[in-house]
Amino acid sequence: MNDVKVYAHRGYSSVAPENTMAAFRRAAEAGADGLELDVHLTKDGHVVVIHDYTLQRTTDGTGRVKDFTLEEIRRLDAGSWFGEEFRCERVPLLEEVLGLAADRDLYLNIELKNNQYPEPGLENRVLELTERYGWTGKTVISSFNHHSLRKVKREKPDLDTAILYMSHLFEPWEYVQRAGLSSIHPYWPTVTKEMAESCRERGLPLRPFTVNRAGEMRRLVSIGVEAIITDKVETLLEVLRDDR
């Protein structure tokens, strides 16, 4: 029997606007084990949940997240772009998602989106909040910025830290151990059976992203990944049911 975990990418983002409470709630209701979310810092140092470093794709605002205060960002509509019924959705605070995770006993994959521009202090703010909510045991901090992950690991050695990457790295299981980090979150086309075996031998969780096709999900389940990050929660749950 497989016990592959289902992480809803940006929440259940194929049925609700990404990175909103509506998307996170729908993921929990559908039966996802965990949530993936992206975080940035506001001008006044709050951790907000949004993918891009700019506002225009997923809200009715424009400009960079870091140039606005929380109060200004909270006035924006983060749902209408996806559907009129989501007009009331706001850009969530990380605290809100931590609260939901605590209520529903969900895993969290918090992605630090500081790979394009530096966001000084983001790591410590995120650590402070996950600790305040008692949510370090079921949290993984991931990032394309591996320096940032090392900072997290130095501050909190027991916390799971996952490298994100897009390309075909040579022996990523060696790299992650050399960097002193603990998990591997690769772009799905780069994942091989050999990779899954090497990770398993070393006790390194392997959680590919973002897998939306049933055939690919089946292949990854069969080679023994620990979790799959997907926009299509129901599709993955169905694949897992069929496999059991």
Does 145 contact ligand G3P by CB under 6 A? Answer: no
> Can you list the positions of beta strands (E) in the chain?
5-9, 34-41, 47-49, 107-112, 139-143, 160-165, 183-186, 227-230
Of the candidate residues 142, 145, 148, 161, the single one contacting ligand G3P (CB under 6 A): 142
Q: Nearest 10 degrees: CA dihedral of 144, 150, 152, 156?
A: 140
Residue type, 68: F
Q: Count residues contacting ligand G3P (CB under 6 A)?
A: 11
* Residues classed as catalytic: 9, 51
Which residue, 38 or 89, has its beta carbon nearer to ligand G3P?
38
Of the candidate residues 33, 38, 123, 160, the single one contacting ligand G3P (CB under 6 A): 38
For strand 183-186 and strand 5-9, is the pairing parallel, antiparallel, or unpaired? unpaired
Instruction: State the minimum distance, in angstroms, from the CB of residue 208 to Mg ion.
Output: 13
CB-neighbour burial class of residue 6 (10 A; exposed 0-12, middle 13-18, buried 19+): buried
Does 18 contact ligand G3P by CB under 6 A? Answer: no
Does 48 contact ligand G3P by CB under 6 A? Answer: no
Q: Is 48 in contact with 39 (CB distance < 8 Å)?
A: yes
Does 123 contact ligand G3P by CB under 6 A? Answer: no
Site of interaction with ligand G3P (CB under 6 A): 9, 36, 38, 51, 111, 142, 164, 185, 209-210, 229
